[in-house]
């Protein structure tokens, strides 16, 4: 790497992590917090670690050769053109580093719904001690023996499947391509996307864990929501655009399904007047399912491994594929 070219990062790696990255790259890592300084210094960048780039990145970063995205989903970069094959910039994602955290989040959401935990917290705040769980419809559902349907079996979906097995659940799932008679060690039954409705009709819990691409946008609309069982609980840890949100709100109001755990929404931040805030059968969080105290360590390990490969001229981990859209 020429001395005048630099590695810039908008992710704030700790001092210890910067030392690991410096050793892997044999060059300094410059972490920038100020947007103006970041934009001004893009002209120096050969490598960038960031979740975003400006629309005019070609002009500001003429020497950019590789973008290591600091997140798994890169759909937000699509309008910039950097994901297009003609951009000539390698893009790698952080796919894989969220599996543990998001897997735990999914089961936290499902368990909260099963035990009516949001309502119990509200009762605690009001200093109410119900004489009977029936008074406030405090649920006692169990995961054991229930069917868990997973849409998307990447690293996150696979971790969710493994946890489902640990809870004694029957685990089924969809994959983009499924060969006839295919088996998976973590899945009891595999379905191609063409049989999505069949899978939904069998599921007591459904988890969305697919990337947002042109083929998955509004994947879950009215027909899919109506295919769900009335007692089903839907968890979305993917992207809000994968669900037709107005139809989801209607489904939750009219009882097509029992509830939803949403970490992502169609518009973020979610407008204050959105009905999702007040629906009693929704557990809503602000896109934080992937947040973890271990994020810095995991991203450092991935980025350092890729820096070593970059220096050696070897293929990088998690290379974005324009043909697939992720």
Catalytic site positions: 239, 268, 287
C-beta separation of 224 from 174 below 8 A: no
DSSP 82-151: TTSGGG--EEE--TTTTHHHHHHHHHHHHHHHHTTHHHHHHHHHTT---SSGGGGT------TT-EEEEE
Neighbours of 286 (CB within 10 A): 13
Supply 40's token pair: 């001004």
281: alpha, beta or left? (left if phi > 0; alpha if psi -120 to 50): alpha
C-beta separation of 71 from 49 below 8 A: no
- Phi, psi for residue 217 in degrees, rounded to 5: -60, 130
Counting beta carbons within 10 angstroms of the beta carbon of residue 185, is it exposed (0 to 12), middle (13 to 18) or buried (19 or more)?
A: exposed
* Helix/strand/coil percent split, the chain, to 5: 40, 15, 45
């Amino acid at each position: 790497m020429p001395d005048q070219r630099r590695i810039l990062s908008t992710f704030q790696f700790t001092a210890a992590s910067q030392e690991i990255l410096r050793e892997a790259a044999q060059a300094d890592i410059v972490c920038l917090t100020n947007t103006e300084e970041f934009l001004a210094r893009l002209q120096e960048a050969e490598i960038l670690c960031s979740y975003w780039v400006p629309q005019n990145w070609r002009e500001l970063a003429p020497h950019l050769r590789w973008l290591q995205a600091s997140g798994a989903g890169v759909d937000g970069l699509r309008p910039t053109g950097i994901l297009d094959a003609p951009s000539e910039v390698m893009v790698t994602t952080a796919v894989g580093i969220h599996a543990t955290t998001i897997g735990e989040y999914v089961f936290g959401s499902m368990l909260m719904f099963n035990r009516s935990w949001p309502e119990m917290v509200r009762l605690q705040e009001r200093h109410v001690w119900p004489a009977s769980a029936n008074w406030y419809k405090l649920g006692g559902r169990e995961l054991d023996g229930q069917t868990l349907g997973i849409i998307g079996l990447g690293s996150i979906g696979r971790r969710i499947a493994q946890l489902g097995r640990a809870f004694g659940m029957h685990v089924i799932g969809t994959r983009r391509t499924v060969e006839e008679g295919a088996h998976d060690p973590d899945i009891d039954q595999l379905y191609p996307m063409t049989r999505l409705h069949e899978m939904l009709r069998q599921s007591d819990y459904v988890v969305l864990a697919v990337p947002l691409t042109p083929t998955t946008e509004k994947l879950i609309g009215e027909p899919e929501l109506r295919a769900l069982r009335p007692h089903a609980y839907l968890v979305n840890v993917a992207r809000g655009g994968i669900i037709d949100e107005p139809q989801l709100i209607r489904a939750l109001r009219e009882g097509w399904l029992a509830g939803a755990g949403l970490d992502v929404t169609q518009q973020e931040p979610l407008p204050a007047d959105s009905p999702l805030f007040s629906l009693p059968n929704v557990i809503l969080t602000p896109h934080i399912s992937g947040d973890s105290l271990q994020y810095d360590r995991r991203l450092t390990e991935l980025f350092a491994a890729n820096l070593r490969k970059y220096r050696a001229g070897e293929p990088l981990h998690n290379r974005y594929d324009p043909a697939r859209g992720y």
